[in-house]
A and B are shown apart, each in its own frame.
Chain A
Amino acid sequence: MLIFIASCQTEHFDEHSILSIGSERLKLSGLRSGYWSNQLPTWLLWAAGAAIAVALLLPLFYLIIRAAEAGPAAWQNLWRINTLATLLRTIGLAAAVTLLSGAIAAPLAWLTVRTDVPWRGLWAILAPLPLVFPSYVGAYLLVSLFGPRGLLQQLLEPIWGVERLPEIYGFPGALLTMTLLSYPYMFTSMRAALLRQDPALEEAARSLGDGGVRTFWRVSLPLLRPAIGAGGLLVALYTLRDFGAVAIMRYDTFTRAIYIQYRSFDRSQAALLALLLVGITLLFVWVEARMRLRGRYVQGDTGAVRPQPILHLGWWRWPAFCFCAAVALFSLILPALVLVYWLVRGLLVHETIPALGQAIGHSVLASGLAAIVITLAALPVAILVVRHAGRLSNLLERLTYSAFALPGIVIALALVFFGANHAPWLYQTLPLLILAYGVLFLPQALGVVRASLLQINPSLMEAARSLGKNRWRVLWDITLPLLRPGLWGSLSLIFLTAMKELPATLLLAPIGFSTLATAVWSAVSEAFFAAAAAPALLIVLLSSLPMLFEIIREKGHERNSRPL
């Protein structure tokens, strides 16, 4: 506590002062300076990091091999005005989507954690769910709702005689769709950070005379910075990577250019374009790293959760309620209702709905495994990045993101290439599919885990060690419980996204391994909307289960810790 009062008293409150005082204290503590060694042997961390790095390098190797085959014409195409224009359009869209997502996610996260907005538990459950819509399905749903002659227009026509709604295609449609589908990345990371934020910091600022607004700008917001950065990066890269939604919204992005090359079987041209995309990704990652500065974001003395004081909104509850409801309505409820409408309409004309029992089992198995494996893999990387900051761990972190903006088809083909030709025993098996999910989704897990790791004060572990616990017990009894919101967040996020993943599932799953996502895709691609609606609804329902569990656990935790 003292430390933070001290740092707040300094004229320029920033993370550096915390850092300097923190390390001062480390020296005093008399323990070894590599303080994470109190928990996991460093060599083990680096070994895990190296293995993960190798897996992450596979797509890059593949792209370089293919790009090396490119002729001069392909290189020329790379520098055409068209290519550059597409590039700028893509970056513009990614930036706009990130800003708008932040504008939705920040108030939503804050309202559900810190205020008494009505039904806040419900909003917390619903807010991350739009992520479960495969982007092309989401876009399709939005078009059928708000298209020039969509359901909304059909509703309005008898009342006001509206014959056509304004076009939603192009930039506005792409912005709307991508924002509604990807703001949950920012919401989940910001919510996790808010839940773990020690109210003592804001109280300290207030006790020193700062008003509410000033406290927000000087304490609350800077403390949220890693979460905003991590979530924002995911949103930006998700936009870069997306193919389905932008295609339906008729907004040409770079990923579309890559797909077009694959469709004409020009793999070397596609590889060149994909490498350019990797370059942009690294630029985004660099921007995010600058945002985080070199700050440390450890909690105050306890690092444990004290129940957050709930702000009573009073009359403002109702506008806040409307905001939450509007977000849920447009991003989740209306699209889900369209799915129900398709299903009912199909059932009425006796369209056959395929049996989905097997697909459900496959989806839960693959996404569940992916969630566990990827979260476990993110842990050592997050520890290295947070506690062993240095050139090597920075490199590892950037590598994680390098593949994230690549379209799924690129990752899938890279693993097809290596699997079929160099690891036939692994090819088209579940472990290889999980590996592909890992390459695709590791940054999501890393962002969430890292953000919550940043808030744990390492001195807690030192204390436990000094009390005679061995490093595994410290990990088990202290680190993991403190990390739990982050770990759960990561598990449910990966579960969600793996469940809807398509290109890698199609190419790399064991043969005949149909999932809910492949069932949706195969029905939509042939315009069997009723057959698509049933598995799509199941994806929405199943993916919300871990989220539901997390919220219930959180409530229980709140109750348990209240008497303290």
Chain B
Amino acid sequence: MENNFVVQFVQRHPFIVKPQWRQHLQMAALLIIGTLLMAACAPIAATPAAGGADDDAAETGAVVVYSGRSENLVGPILDKFSQETGIDVQVRYGGTAEMAATLLEEGTNSPADIFFAQDPGGLGAVDNAGLLAPLPESIANKVLSEFRSPNGAWVGVSGRARVVVYNTTALMPADLPNDIADFTDPQWAGRIGWAPTNASFQAMVTAMRAMWGEEQTRDWLLGIQANEPVVFEGNSPIVAAVGAGEIDAGFVNHYYLYRFLAEEGEGFPARNHFLNSGGPGSLVMVAGVGRLATGPNEANALKLIEYLVSTAAQQYFVTETSEYPVIEGVAIPENLPALAELNAAPIRLTELADLQGTTQLLIDTGVLP
């Protein structure tokens, strides 16, 4: 039987036992492609960080930035810095929380010089682990005192305000309350959207805990929950949903709206409502930078930070990303209310540090799983 089987097999499938050139050719092609790929990857593998960030960094002085802000927003200004100073900047882009977690895992072995974060929470977490070096006063003092950390570990680079974005066909500005507390009113049932996993939203809840106390914040969260808010994953989808009329209003940061207006035109039926009661709903926060104590390029890193809080860079953030300047003497566009008119919540950014307490409260109230 065994013999019979072999003979049958060979008869039926001569091409398998006696491979034809075609099969050889295909295998050879595979091998060649593989070798080429290996070869292509070799230079990158040999010198880490395409272009040689790690090893060459100390020699050429390239500044390594971990950015929690996206390339679309900060890439142009970092490029401009490189052009003007001749200092190479290498950026790793990611989410602020992910970048902060990476820095925490890397500890003292981090190749990064600068952490550019979307919110104070990420900077605070890295600072609490003792990874940030204090900035020289000459740089820190340029920034308005409410927009930097009191211990000088990091400075704000651009300001953003919490607002309520509303659908202009469903609501008039007069219909909207001027304090975030009033959204627990049953008239808002099913009409509002929020993003409880969003860092800026969580900062607002932290501000509530600081200003109102734990109990009142819990009541507010439960009150909003009772109104069955629509849950979103971030600010942009809220603005999109408000524009589409899916919801009437949502809690967001102020600058997202302007991107939609740019892409969809002025007819986009959503506008910002700035809550001017001075409560936690009127929070103004920052995106900011800190320098890693273990960063190999102190001098160039400080030059970059100094550049980011210079008038030129601040002007960029105001006009290109519709954010607020963190230094004095930079004009803001007409469609934004002046910072002074905002009646910003009287809270220091360091008071927003207890993110874990906020997460716990959000979980306890069933807002987060």
Contact = CB atoms under 8 A, between A and B. Distances in A.
A463 B54 CA distance: 55
A265 B104 contact: yes
Interface string B170-213: 00000000000000000000000000010100100000000000
A263 B263 contact: no
B109 A420 contact: yes
A149 B167 CA distance: 13
Contacts of A256: 197, 369
A344 interface: no
A147 B241 CA distance: 10
A232 to B, nearest CB: 26
Contact of A304 (B9, B244, B355): B9
The residue in B8, B19, B53, B363 that gathers the most chain A C-beta atoms within 10 A of its C-beta is: B363
A431 B47 CA distance: 12
A457 to B, nearest CB: 10
Contacts of B359: 260-261, 263-264, 266
Nearest to A260: B368
Interface stretch (B92-100, B303-311, B336-344): B92-100
B106 A421 contact: yes
Interface in A143-163: 147-150
Nearest to B243: A149
Contacts of A477: 16-17, 19
A512 B50 contact: yes
B6 A467 contact: yes
Contacts of B355: 264-265
Contacts of A58: none
Contact of A511 (B33, B64, B234): B64
A510 B72 contact: no
A409 interface: yes
Interface residues of B, number: 83
B133 interface: no
Contacts of B6: 463, 466-467
A354 B79 CA distance: 14
Interface in A509-529: 510-514, 518, 522-523, 525-529
B105 A413 contact: yes
A52 interface: no
Interface in A456-479: 459-460, 463-464, 466-467, 476-478
Interface in A398-421: 409, 412-413, 416-417, 420-421
Contacts of B41: 365, 369, 430-431
A506 B92 contact: yes
B71 interface: yes
Nearest to B362: A260
B13 A247 contact: no
Given A467-B6, A527-B239, A481 B16 contact: yes
B37 A528 contact: no
Contacts, number: 224
A323 to B, nearest CB: 32
A257 interface: yes
Contacts of A345: 263
Contacts of B73: 526
B16 A304 contact: yes
A440 interface: no
Interface string A480-523: 11100000000000000000000100110011111000100011
A149 B48 contact: no
Interface in A344-366: 345-346, 349, 351, 354, 365
Contacts of A429: 44-45, 48-49
Interface string A187-212: 00000000000000000000000000
The residue in A83, A267, A368 that gathers the most chain B C-beta atoms within 10 A of its C-beta is: A368
Nearest to A487: B30
B231 interface: yes
B233 A248 contact: yes
B100 A265 contact: yes
A147 B246 contact: yes
B284 to A, nearest CB: 20
Contact of B236 (A77, A427, A527): A527
A380 to B, nearest CB: 17
A526 B256 CA distance: 8
Interface string B221-236: 0000000001111101
Contacts of B240: 527
A345 B71 CA distance: 22
B111 interface: yes
A347 B40 CA distance: 34
Interface in A114-145: 140
A413 B94 CA distance: 13
A301 interface: yes
A220 interface: no
A430 B105 contact: no
Interface string B51-88: 10110000000001000001111000000000000000
A365 B48 contact: no
Contacts of A51: none
Nearest to A342: B263
A297 interface: no
A44 interface: no
Interface string B132-160: 00000000000000000000000000000
A365 B237 CA distance: 33
A527 B44 contact: no
Contacts of A17: none
Contact of A265 (B2, B53, B97): B97
B125 interface: yes
A301 B369 contact: no
A262 interface: yes
Interface in A41-75: none
B168 to A, nearest CB: 15
A507 B93 CA distance: 8
Interface string A230-270: 00000000000000000110101100110111111111000
A86 B369 contact: yes
The residue in B5, B17, B73, B359 that gathers the most chain A C-beta atoms within 10 A of its C-beta is: B5
Contacts of A29: 2
B369 A260 contact: yes
Contact of A463 (B5, B15, B71, B232): B5
Contacts of A86: 369
21 contacts: A147-B246, A250-B230, A263-B97, A263-B197, A266-B356, A301-B5, A304-B13, A351-B263, A369-B38, A409-B101, A420-B105, A429-B44, A430-B44, A431-B45, A467-B6, A482-B16, A506-B98, A518-B93, A523-B70, A526-B70, A527-B260
Given A464-B17, A522-B70, 4 more contacts: A29-B2, A420-B105, A427-B111, A527-B260
| 7 closest Cβ pairs, A-B complex | A527-B236, A264-B359, A252-B369, A420-B106, A511-B49, A149-B244, A506-B94
